[in-house]
Amino acid sequence: MGRTSVRPTFPLALLLIAVILATGAGSGAAASSSREYQVKAAFLYNFARFTEWPAGTFSSRKNPLTICIFGQDPFGSDLEDTVKGRTASDREILI
C-alpha cells in the first residue's frame, strides 16, 4: 500500500492557518494583544520559511512570496516588522 502525499494540500492548510490566526478573537489589554500578534506573525513567517513549495508554484525564481491579509489587518506593523529583510526559500517576502 503506497503512502499518500499531503504536499499539494499544505499551501491550502497554510492559508487556513493564516486566516484562523488573523481572525482569532483577542481579549485582554492592548499590550497582550500586541504580543499575541507578534507571536502570530512569527508563526506565519516560520510556516512560510519551512514550506517546500511544489514545482510550478511560482512562475519565476525571482517572484516573491506574498502573505495577504483578508479583511481588517489585526497585526498593525508586527507582520511587516517580522518579515522585513528576511526571505523564505530564497524569496523576498511581501505583505
pLDDT at 6: 47
pLDDT at 84 over 90: yes
CB 54 within 8 A of CB 8: yes
Note the pLDDT tens digit of each residue in 47-82.
988 988 888 888 988 899 999 999 999 999 999 999
Res. 5: pLDDT tops 60 = no
Q: HSE of 70 in the Cβ direction (CA atoms, 13 Å)?
A: 9
Residue 87: inside a domain, yes or no? yes
Residue 78 lies in a domain: yes
- Number of structural domains (the chain) is 1
Give yes or no for residue 26 having a pLDDT over 90.
Answer: no
Which structural domain range is residue 48 located in? 8-94
pLDDT in the model for residue 38: 92
Q: Is residue 2 part of a domain?
A: no
Q: What whole-number percentage of the chain has pLDDT above 90? A: 43
Residue 3 lies in a domain: no
0.75 exceeded by the pTM? no
**Residues 43-72, buried b or exposed e (16+ Cβ, 10 A)?**
ebbebbeebeeeeeeeeeeeeebebeeeee
